[in-house]
Chains A and B, each alone.
Chain A
């Protein structure tokens, strides 16, 4: 079974508008972490934002915010005021259990295109 599901293979957004990228996850572990990464065409993986399962508030980092709905097991990424440079592949990932030796499981990604 998929642990991380990203249902949007591709998304389009107009410059300066907000966009939401969906992510749902599946785990029975009470302690986990959720990550979003951006991968431009160069291939590098750029960390965007992190949400811990026990965090009471939604994480925010500049124009990025994470809409964490624990009961629904969703962790959607919201990008406000989209910029042309936001065009890239976006991956949701989950770390289960403790941090020691824990590995990230990735979704299949969403290709975001920002139109001028």
Chain B
């Protein structure tokens, strides 16, 4: 069966520090992968999506970047975090109709 792993679950980072969030998918090949961010009490905003290795599309200009070094691995990064980067980050994958989300990372930038 397909599973999606996302870590860490929570993260507190100082302003100006780097960030690396990892998401891996098991049990499927060549999935579409997505990074979403959710501000408190708000909907999900798509940050990046990928249809294949090395293929990244950015939805909004921001302080973040994404990479897909392997078929089932999707990484969200930042060189220097801003206070505004705080939020709940969700990775998701899709194949055909369905979309499955990871358990999320709650990032607090202090």
Q: Is the C-beta of A108 less than 8 angstroms from some C-beta in chain B? A: yes
A106 touches B49 (CB 8 A): no
Inter-chain CA distance A101–B95, complex, in Å, is 9
Residue among B46, B57, B92, B101 with the most chain A CB within 10 A?
B101
- Contact across chains for B43 and A103 when beta carbons are under 8 A apart: no
Contacts of A108 in B (CB 8 A): 42-43
CB-CB contacts of A23-66 with B at 8 A, as 1s and 0s? Answer: 00000000001010100001111010010100000000000000
Interface size class of B (residues with CB under 8 A): 20 to 34
Interface residue SS majority, chain B: strand
Q: Who on chain B is nearest to A92 by CB?
A: B43
Asked whether, in the complex, the Cβ of A43 is within 8 Å of the Cβ of B104, the reply is: yes
Q: How large is the interface on A (under 10, 10 to 19, 20 to 34, 35 or more residues)?
A: 20 to 34
- Annotate B66-99 by CB proximity to A: 1 below 8 A, 0 otherwise: 0000000000000000000000101010101111
Asked if B11 CB lies within 8 Å of chain A CBs, one says no
A residues with a Cβ closer than 8 A to B are 4, 33, 35, 37, 42-45, 47, 50, 52, 91, 93, 95, 99-109
Contact residues of B with A, CB < 8 Å?
32, 34, 36, 41-46, 49, 51, 57, 59, 88, 90, 92, 94, 96-101, 103-104, 106
